[in-house]
Structures are given as C-alpha cells and as structure tokens.
C-alpha cells in the first residue's frame, strides 16, 4: 500500500512536469499544426532566467525574491523567444508541418549551442527558495515541498488557461481558430494575430516550466531534449489542442511510468510506456479527445 501511494505521488509529480511542458505544445500544435522542437529550448531559457536572476541580479541573499520574480520573467522570456520564432520562420512555413519540425530543430540546436557559449557546457545548480526546503509525510509517503509546488503551479496554470479560453474574448477567438481556421477567418477573426498570441502564450508556458525544472535538479544546455519527446507524446495521446485530453494523457503517462519503473526498471519502463502508446493508438488513433470534423484529413 505504501509503495502504491508513494509511486502514485511520484507519478503525479512526473505528470505535472510533463503537463507543464506539454501545455504550450498542445496549443501551438493544435491550433497552428506546428511541431515546435525548440519548445524544449524555451524551457531551458526559462530555467536559465531563474539562474541569472539568482546569481547575477539579486545575488544569493534574496533567493526567494529572485525565484518569485523569475516566474513572470521566464514567461516573458519564453514568450518573446516564441514570438521571434513565429515571426521570422514559422509564419513562412504555413501548411508544411513536417518542415516546421525540422526547421525548429535547427533553431533548437543553435539555441543549445548559444546557451553553451554563454553559460558553459557543465550543468549549473539553482538554489530553491527556503520556503520550499523539506517536505511533509502523509500516510508514510514523503512529499517534498518542491514537488508539491510544481503540482500547484500546474493547477494554477490550468485554471488560468481555462479562464482565458472560456471567459475572455481573445480566448474565444483562439478556440474559433482551433475549430475551423477558415471559418474563423471568414467571420472576421484576424487569424495571424491569434496565431502570434497563441505562440506567445504557449512559449511563455514553456518558460514557466523552465522555472519548475530548476527545482528538480541542476540545469544544462540540453535539458530541453529530455522533455520534448515525452511532451509530444502527451499531445499525441491527448488529442490535438485539447486541454482535457492533455491533462488525462499527462497523468496516465506519468503514472504508467512510475508504476512500470517500480515493477521493472527505469529503462524497460520507458520502452513499455512507448509500447502502450502504440497499442493505445490502435483504439484511439486521434487521441483521447477527438474534435469531429467532416473532412478526411
């Protein structure tokens, strides 16, 4: 029972990290059909934003202040990087999803090397603020505050996105574009603007995920590649542009990973999860939540 509960917690905390990275992808992939491989590097940029704030701007004396400020700032850094990418490259590749994948991979290679040149190749450590040190033990399961904080962060992010999508006019326009781009454009929605905003928000969320990554261990120039594939698998299993699907998929993948890892070992668990995904696609080839369309594609 104790093992069951502790793996449950581990699974949920893996899922929360996955979801945080995958949230932004769900929107950019779902709305614009863009596979942004540089998304992982936006996560990395968010993580280094925290690092810079802590070491260069505030010094180690004001860790909590630096950490608090890094959340909005990382959102901005990720978002602006995303805007630049959208404006310079992705806009030109409309309707060529496979090509955007390769182009953004090139961007991600360059960003990684840039980070290596600026911050050095070795990993660096970011200090967690003091109020996140330690943890609590419930029913024999020890839960570090950092993990709980990440879960909380995801919940807040989800609520914010839900509010944006369902209550604000901009969110309504975004849903319209996801459902039917041509019809939305014909109804007077300026789809290029909506695209840009979506990309800003999606990339900004990656930056926020980067702040969360710093709580889990040291950070390095290639940390994005660790997350990007799993995050895309979440999007595939969840269904395109579907918040509900992404949440369920992230939790399912996180839990599957945690329990399989306990039963077998870390390396076989990864392969088993992948096999499960292929089997799952036999039953739901378009993911958990499907938007019904009348076209073939």
Q: Looking at beta carbons only, is 111 or 194 nearer to another protein?
A: 111
For residue 108, which of 39, 43, 207, 49 has the smallest C-alpha distance?
A: 39
Q: Looking at beta carbons only, is 105 or 262 nearer to another protein?
A: 105
Q: Looking at beta carbons only, is 174 or 273 nearer to another protein?
A: 273
Q: Looking at beta carbons only, is 116 or 175 nearer to another protein?
A: 116
Residue 75 and residue 205 in contact, taking contact as beta carbons nearer than 8 Å: yes
Q: Provide CB contacts within 8 A for 239, sequence distance 6+.
A: 245, 246, 249, 286, 287, 288, 289, 290, 291
Instruction: Name the minimum Å distance from CB 161 to another protein.
Output: 22
Residue 34 and residue 28 in contact, taking contact as beta carbons nearer than 8 Å: yes
Instruction: Name the minimum Å distance from CB 102 to another protein.
Output: 5
Whole-number Å distance between alpha carbons of 73 and 4: 38
Instruction: Name the minimum Å distance from CB 113 to another protein.
Output: 4
Instruction: Name the minimum Å distance from CB 230 to another protein.
Output: 8
- List residues near another protein by CB under 8 A: 29, 33, 35, 89, 92-93, 95-99, 101-103, 105-110, 112-113, 116-117, 225, 229, 232-233, 236, 265-268, 270-271, 273-274, 277-278, 281-282, 285, 296-297
Instruction: Name the minimum Å distance from CB 265 to another protein.
Output: 6
Burial track 124-158 (b if 16+ CB lie within 10 A, e otherwise): bebbbbeebeeeeeeeebebbbbbbbbbebbeebb
Instruction: Name the minimum Å distance from CB 227 to another protein.
Output: 12
Q: Looking at beta carbons only, is 31 or 112 nearer to another protein?
A: 112
Q: Give me the half-sphere count of Cα atoms (radius 13 Å) on the Cβ side of residue 91.
A: 16
Tell me how crowded residue 17 is: count the other CB atoms within 10 A of its CB. Answer: 25
Q: Looking at beta carbons only, is 24 or 171 nearer to another protein?
A: 24
């Amino acid at each position: 029972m104790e093992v069951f509960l502790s793996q449950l917690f581990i699974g949920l905390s893996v899922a929360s990290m996955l979801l945080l990275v995958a949230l932004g992808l769900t929107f950019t992939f779902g709305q614009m059909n863009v596979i942004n491989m540089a998304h992982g590097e936006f996560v990395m940029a968010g993580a280094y934003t925290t690092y810079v704030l802590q070491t260069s701007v505030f010094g180690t004396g004001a860790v909590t202040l630096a950490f608090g400020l890094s959340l909005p700032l990382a959102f901005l850094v990720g978002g602006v990087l995303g805007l630049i990418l959208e404006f310079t490259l992705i806009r030109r590749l409309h309707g060529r999803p496979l090509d955007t994948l390769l182009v953004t991979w090139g961007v991600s290679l360059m960003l990684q090397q840039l980070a290596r040149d600026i911050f050095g190749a070795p990993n660096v450590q970011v200090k967690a603020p003091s109020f996140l040190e330690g943890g609590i033990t419930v029913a024999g399961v020890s839960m570090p505050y950092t993990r709980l904080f990440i879960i909380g962060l995801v919940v807040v992010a989800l609520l914010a996105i839900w509010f944006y999508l369902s209550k604000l006019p901009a969110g309504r326009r975004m849903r319209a574009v996801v459902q039917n781009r041509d019809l939305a454009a014909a109804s007077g929605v300026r789809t290029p603007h909506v695209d840009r905003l979506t990309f800003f928000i999606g990339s900004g969320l990656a930056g926020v995920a980067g702040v969360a990554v710093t709580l889990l261990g040291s950070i390095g120039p290639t940390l994005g590649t660790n997350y990007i594939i799993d995050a895309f698998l979440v999007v595939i299993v969840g269904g395109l542009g579907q918040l509900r699907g992404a949440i369920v998929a992230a939790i399912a993948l996180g839990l599957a990973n945690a329990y399989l890892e306990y039963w077998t070992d870390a390396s076989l668990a990864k392969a088993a999860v992948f096999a499960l995904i292929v089997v799952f696609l036999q039953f739901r080839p378009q993911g958990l939540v499907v938007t019904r369309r009348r076209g073939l594609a």
